[in-house]
Every structure is written in structure tokens, then in C-alpha cells.
Amino acid sequence: MNRDFRRRRGFTLVELLVVIAIIGVLVGLLLPAVQAAREAARRMSCSNNFKQIGLALHNYHSAYDKLPMTMGGTYQPNANAGGTTPADSNNRYRLSWLVGVLPFMEQQALWQQISNPNQYSSGTLMTGQAWNAMGPAPWTTQYDPWMTDIKALRCPSDPGFGAPALGRTNYGASLGDSTDWTTNGAFTFSNGSWVSAGSRTSSCRGVFVARQFTGFRDILDGTSNTIMAGELQTSLGDRAKTTHLANNPPGGWNALHTNPSTCFQANFIDPTRPQFWCNGGAGCTSPSLNGGNQMRGFRWADGGLLYTGITTIRPPNSELCTAGGDSSSGTMSPSSYHQGGVHVLMADGAIKFITDSIEAGNQQSPVVNSSMSPPCLPAGSASPFGLWGALGTRASHEVLSGDF
């Protein structure tokens, strides 16, 4: 009886190694595409979050016929410097525009905590004590609402989280194209006085004006041609020029007002790592930087320009520069962890992606500032910062001829 025996043949070691090598090559080729797809998804989610903020602002305006105030809230002239204890808790006219839109962003529960006296605290309050309505100063770490991270205020492309920040935000209101009065706006906290109308109106040219209500009726350049808000990075604990604020430009305020690029030209940036400030290396000068929780986007409830504002002076993803502290004006460009640019929210609710290379005029030009005119430009001047500056002004009557 004859039987056919068929020999079973398996993979040789060489064949198996070849297959594994091919799989490795394919994974190597596909990984960048997967990473790019993930970033594209994060960027889309970031844009959607910004769109929801735009809708919230429009709904707020429909309800109150004005936009929420930035640097608003409560003020007690005789309270201590911070208003940070329950007995005298007030926010010293420092609340951001984001606080007012909470009810229009499905954050009613958090809004109820803030708008009513409450005992929410990360510490221990004495019996009978409560924070006053609208809360204490926005740097008060014992007040739980200010420490809350709100997912709708975060861009998924930004990996920053945790201390020393309070609640973070990646979105800031546009305050225009000047380095003067944009944080004080209509009221000077340091001496408790109102700013003269001339100084305020000449420099505060953005959709939002600190400590003053504005509305869509004030946007004479057209809502589709005017930036209402922009993205901003939060710090990762490094010395990034877009998240750490340099506060000592040579020549101080006069130099910054007459040349907004003064920090850039002061050799403060590391020549071998141009996204970071100098840290004592050769060929550059280390600037004085703010520390602790005084970083970009580290306090969503704080209306200070550093935390929840942008300017349209230096192009997107440029360095942060002021001649004062964290509550000062200066060049606070929008920034993002997206490649090549930032999202901005136009006043009509549209989301646009602005590249870092947008036409930005004369970057060494003095700003518009009536109190220093000349050498600064007089009130009513067209923005000297090209298309980028024109997009940030609400009523300067520039004709937009460039593509953005």
C-alpha cells in the first residue's frame, strides 16, 4: 500500500526576519502620518472650542446688548491690596471677559458659585465666613472656582497642566495694536482714578477695552474684518518666549512705545534656540522674566493682558515683552502649538487661521499713543503694523487689501 507523504514546510528564520523588517519600515512610514492626523484632529477640536466661545459671546451680546467686560468685577478702595480674604474679598477690577460668558458656555453651576456668596475653598474657612459675590482677587488660590480647569477653555494641542498655574486658558481677548493703557483701560487701579478719555480712546483700539463695555456697534471696520480673540500658549515650565514675559527692555516704557521690537532687538533670545529666551549662554543677554503663576494663560479668571488677552503688534508666536509686571501692557502676541500659526476668532464668529508670516508692517514703528505724540503716532492714525495691526483695530477705517 503506497502512501503519499507531503512534507509540511514552515517559515525560515531569514524569512521571518525579512517580514519583521518590512513591518518595521511600514510602521516607520505610517507613524508620521498618524501623528499628523492626530494633530489635525486636535487642531479641529481647538477650533471647535473657539467657535463655541464665539457663539457664547454673541449670545451674551444678544442678552445684554454689549460684550462682557474684561478687567471688570468688584472693587473696594479701602480693602487690602489683594482683596484675598473672605472679609474683604473683591476682585479689584481684575476679572476676565471669560467669567461673564460662563452661563452661555454651559457652565451655569460654576457661574452660580462665583456670582453668589459662597464657602467654596481649598482651605478652611472659619464658621460664618464666606467669599463675597464675584469672588476675591483672581490670584487667590484658596478660592476653588479660580482653580477650576474648564475643558472648553483649553486647546487639546497644548499639553500644559497643573501647578503653578491656577485654571488655564488658551484663548485671549483682542485689545488692539498699542502698548499703552491696554491693561488699565478706563480705570487705573493703583491710584483709584478714571483714565482720561483722550488717553483711553487713542490707545485702546481693540474689540475689548479694559474696564469699559463695548459692543458690536463700536466695530466700525466690520465684524468680518476685525479680530475679537486669539489663541495663546500656556507654559510648559521652560523659558519659551511665547509664555514667559520679559519685563526689562532697554530704555523701559519709552523704548517699548516707540519700538515694539525692543525685546527682540535687545539680544534676549537664544540664537541657538530661537523659540526660547537666553539663559546665560554665549552670544545673548538673559532678560528678567516673570515667574511662579505669572505666566501666559495661567489664570483664566484674571483679565490681565498676560493671562487672557492678545495684541496685534508683533506677529503671531512672537516674544512677550513689557516694561512692567504681570498686570502691565506690552506686546502680547497670540501663540499656539499648531504648526505655522494661530487660530483667531473674528467678531462675526468665524474662525480663521493666521500664519506667522502675515504682513505686519513696520515692526520698529512707534505705536499710537496720544500722550507721547510725537514720537508716537497721534490718535486716529492707521495701524503702522500692516494687515496684522489693521485686523486688530475696531474703528480705524483701514482698507484690508491683503489675504489672511
Domain boundaries, the chain: 14-403
pLDDT at 393: 94
Residues listed for the chain: 404
Task: Tell which phi-psi region holds residue 49, choosing left (phi > 0), alpha (psi between -120 and 50) or beta.
Answer: alpha
Q: Is the pLDDT of residue 344 over 70?
A: yes
pLDDT at 156: 93
Provide long-range contacts, Cβ within 8 A and 24+ apart, for 157-160.
Answer: 157/39, 157/42, 157/43, 157/46, 157/336, 157/337, 157/338, 158/233, 158/234, 158/336, 158/337, 159/236, 159/337, 160/233, 160/234, 160/235, 160/236, 160/297
Spatial CA neighbour of 345 closest among 97, 40, 52: 52
pLDDT at 152: 94
Q: Is the pLDDT of residue 399 over 80?
A: no
Averaged pLDDT, 43-60: 94
Q: Is the pLDDT of residue 57 over 70?
A: yes
pLDDT at 379: 83
- Residues 70, 73, 76, 77: what is their CA dihedral angle, to the nearest 10 degrees? 20
pLDDT at 199: 62
Averaged pLDDT, 69-76: 87
Averaged pLDDT, 271-282: 90
Q: Is the pLDDT of residue 1 over 90?
A: no
pLDDT at 2: 52
The pTM score is: 0.85
Averaged pLDDT, 353-372: 90
Sign of the dihedral through C-alpha 320, 292, 230, 179: negative
Bridge partners of 229? Answer: 173, 345
Q: Is the pLDDT of residue 174 over 80?
A: yes
Q: Is the pLDDT of residue 33 over 70?
A: no
Averaged pLDDT, 231-245: 93
Report the distance separating Cα 61 and Cα 48, nearest Å: 20
Spatial CA neighbour of 198 closest among 329, 393, 370, 397: 370
Q: Which amino acid appears at position 203 of this protein?
A: S
Q: Which residue is it, cell 477705517?
A: 397
pLDDT at 16: 79
Averaged pLDDT, 50-64: 96
pLDDT at 201: 72
Q: Is the pLDDT of residue 66 over 90?
A: yes
DSSP 11: -
Query: Is 134 exposed, middle or buried, given 0-12, 13-18 or 19+ CB atoms closer than 10 A?
Result: middle
Nine-digit cell at 136? 476675591
Residue 19 binned pLDDT confidence (cut-offs 50, 70, 90): confident
Report the distance separating Cα 126 and Cα 394, nearest Å: 48
Contacts of 47 (CB under 8 A, 6+ apart): 343, 351
pLDDT at 314: 96
Q: Which amino acid appears at position 281 of this protein?
A: G
Residue 352 binned pLDDT confidence (cut-offs 50, 70, 90): very high
Highest mean pLDDT among 48-57, 140-149, 322-331: 48-57
Mean pLDDT, rounded, of the chain: 86
